[in-house]
Amino acid sequence: MEPQHQKEQKIPESSRQKRSQTSPDTIPQGNAVETSPVFNLENFPALPTVFTKNDFEVLNKAAVSVEARVRHHKWEVKYEYKFPDCFKKLSISINGKTPGPTIVAQQGDTIIVEVKNSLMTENLAIHWHGIRQIRTPWADGTEGITQCPVVPGDTFVYKFVVDRPGTYLYHAHYGMQRQAGLQGMIKVLVPNGIVEPFSYDHDRNILLTDWYHKSTYEQAAGLSSLPFVWVEEPQSILIHGKGRFNCSAPSTDATLCNATHPQCTPFTMTVVPGNTYRLRIGSLTALAALSFEIEGHNMTVVEADGHYVEPFVVQNLFIYSGETYSVLIKADQDPTRNYWASTKVVSRNSATPNGLGIFNYYPNHPRRRPPTIPPVGPRWDEVAPRVAQSVAIKSHKDFIHTPPQTSDRVIVMLNTQNRVNGFMRWSVNNVSFNMPHTPYLIALKHNLLHTFEQTPPPDNYDHENYDIFNVAKNVNATTSNSIYRLKFNTTVDIILQNANTLNPNNSETHPWHLHGHDFWVLGYGNGKFNQSIDPKNYNLVNPIMKNTIPVHPYGWTALRFRADNPGVWAFHCHIESHFFMGMGVVFEEGIEKVGKLPTSIMGCGESKRFHRP
């Protein structure tokens, strides 16, 4: 593939065309300091697979200037008491904010985040979710995989390029720290002069999360105890950090709940009648799959995980942890009132109340209660509409990245709940993942192969004899920290195969997230995947590319990716407790092509001897 940057030419600021026919909000600078306005094209990473000929043509036609900037952020991460749903809880903040500040950048920019760990007694690592980290695999922020944890008092500098426009996320990737609040969004805008395949007047973003009142430690201890203590359902759903717990509910400690605390005023999105809003929605729930809707308004889905979608209209959007979407919403209803924004837990029979916010038509008062009862949302136990929405997401016709038509390797991954020495675990092909002490990236680059198990995990399960519709005959699994080593530049298919849990008649939804890549979504199916029949029905024409995908109850999901990004990459269930209990794998590809590792990622396990402070 030819490098695209040689075709680009710079145009002076004054003659540059308006960035878009619409007027997306300008980039707020906040604490971002642009330190270098000059872009060195030589440093711009090559873009394997996902930058198509079509993209080159679009770029060339527009004679776009990719005058990338360096955006410098200084973050202090600490614990603070917060009342996001009126209930007092120690929460992790970034520069005082939970969720953290939204990173706004333009395609091609270099992001530098200087993270100071002021958590006092806790390590941290921050993952940039959806950013592929091409040529910077050490900046992926996955503790135990790409780096050692950042110890209290230390400052760690993440530096990476955002090479593609779209909506992305960031969050802690250390223990179960994410759900304590260390999370936020990344918005990458198109270069000047590029017109997106849809138009809007304003660009907004919201992060959906679920919220527990118990601490992460209490939960982690329970999950790894005998007898097992489940985390249960979350107390609240938060819309961009705002929710509302019923302080007068029985057994609520009144001294910890303050219904009039200013932090738990409802989330409000103010709109001007007649205008169209691009709403970027991300989910970083710890457990919940969600449905999101704006009462009385349709939403047109236009982006998923940084890729343009062939537009389709929904009343409610199903969104799984780790996913992002952009929807267009037109403020075209009766402007004399406000409307509900509502999020509901689906896929689990949850007692968590719907998360409510206000879709406020200017000039009505932003907190004026809508005159209607909030929408009840879809049934939690109806799988078909969720599968239908997954299937509906196809690549926009002008932005198709045609997938390789064949693959070199097929890995079928049976998702099961198991026991290991009596402890509750989740497994892939009967292997439950354990994290090593020396991060794989360092271990592989420095040939410390004795630091993790070398027998690779299996590429399949006993699909002839395993009954996915019932509790397994043998519920025991093994643990391992071994990894899948992929031949560089090969095409790999992954089939996620769901099954029954340890409870009869129960199969859960698992959102799987791949680091370092986007994958093509080839198809979904019910029941057991049939390797000789089902691949014939793969969508090899216009599949969407994503980085996070659900496997639905008792179903399978097929995806394909190119192992073309040198590094070591996690692929795991994005439910915090499931990954904690072993539901993940690790891929290595092209380790010999990885550049010299920065010593800042070292200092733990056997990498102690490489660390020079």
User: Torsion over CA of 544, 549, 552 and 558, rounded to 10 degrees?
Assistant: 60
Using DSSP's 3-state secondary structure scheme, residue 540 falls into coil
H or E element at residue 56:
helix 53-62
In the bound state with Cu ion, the residue whose beta carbon lies nearer, of 562 and 578, is 578
CB of 501 to Cu ion, least distance (A): 10
For residues 579 and 310, what is the distance between their CA atoms, to the nearest angstrom?
Answer: 32
In the bound state with Cu ion, the residue whose beta carbon lies nearer, of 282 and 553, is 553
CB of 553 to Cu ion, least distance (A): 11
DSSP-H helix ranges across 368-463: 384-392, 440-445
Three-point CA angle 488, 490, 495, nearest 5°: 120
Residue-wise over 445-466: b if at least 16 C-beta within 10 A, else e?
A: bbebeebbbeeebbeebeeeeb
Closest CA to 100 of 132, 73, 63, 62: 73
In the bound state with Cu ion, the residue whose beta carbon lies nearer, of 545 and 575, is 575
In the bound state with Cu ion, the residue whose beta carbon lies nearer, of 100 and 582, is 582
For residues 205 and 24, what is the distance between their CA atoms, to the nearest angstrom?
Answer: 12
Sign of CA dihedral 528, 534, 537, 543: positive
Using DSSP's 3-state secondary structure scheme, residue 158 falls into strand
DSSP for 497-549, please give it. E----SSTT----EEEEESS--EEEEEEEESS--TTTGGGG---SSBPEESEE
Cα separation values, 92 from 73, 217, 372, 457, 519, Å: 18, 13, 35, 35, 32
CB of 573 to Cu ion, least distance (A): 3
Residues constituting the chain: 613
CB of 188 to Cu ion, least distance (A): 28
> What's at 114, amino acid-wise?
E
CB of 582 to Cu ion, least distance (A): 10
For residues 518 and 236, what is the distance between their CA atoms, to the nearest angstrom?
Answer: 31
- Tokens matching residue 40: 């060195």
CB of 268 to Cu ion, least distance (A): 33
Binding positions for Cu ion, rule: CB under 5 A: 510, 573, 575, 578
CB of 508 to Cu ion, least distance (A): 6
In the bound state with Cu ion, the residue whose beta carbon lies nearer, of 129 and 278, is 129
- Tokens matching residue 5: 């940057």
DSSP state of 503: S
CB of 58 to Cu ion, least distance (A): 37
In the bound state with Cu ion, the residue whose beta carbon lies nearer, of 201 and 508, is 508
Count Cα atoms within 13 angstroms, Cβ side, for 361.
Answer: 21
Q: Cβ(109)–Cβ(71) under 8 Å?
A: yes
In the bound state with Cu ion, the residue whose beta carbon lies nearer, of 513 and 562, is 513
Backbone angles phi, psi at 270, to 5 degrees: -90, 130
In the bound state with Cu ion, the residue whose beta carbon lies nearer, of 197 and 222, is 222
CB of 350 to Cu ion, least distance (A): 15
The strand pair at 491-497 and 409-420 is best described as parallel
In the bound state with Cu ion, the residue whose beta carbon lies nearer, of 319 and 575, is 575
CB of 232 to Cu ion, least distance (A): 16
For residues 478 and 495, what is the distance between their CA atoms, to the nearest angstrom?
Answer: 21
CB of 479 to Cu ion, least distance (A): 17
CB of 276 to Cu ion, least distance (A): 36
In the bound state with Cu ion, the residue whose beta carbon lies nearer, of 127 and 578, is 578
In the bound state with Cu ion, the residue whose beta carbon lies nearer, of 19 and 578, is 578
Radius of gyration (Cα) for the chain, nearest Å? 23
Q: Cβ(162)–Cβ(108) under 8 Å?
A: yes
> What's at 383, amino acid-wise?
V
In the bound state with Cu ion, the residue whose beta carbon lies nearer, of 429 and 451, is 429
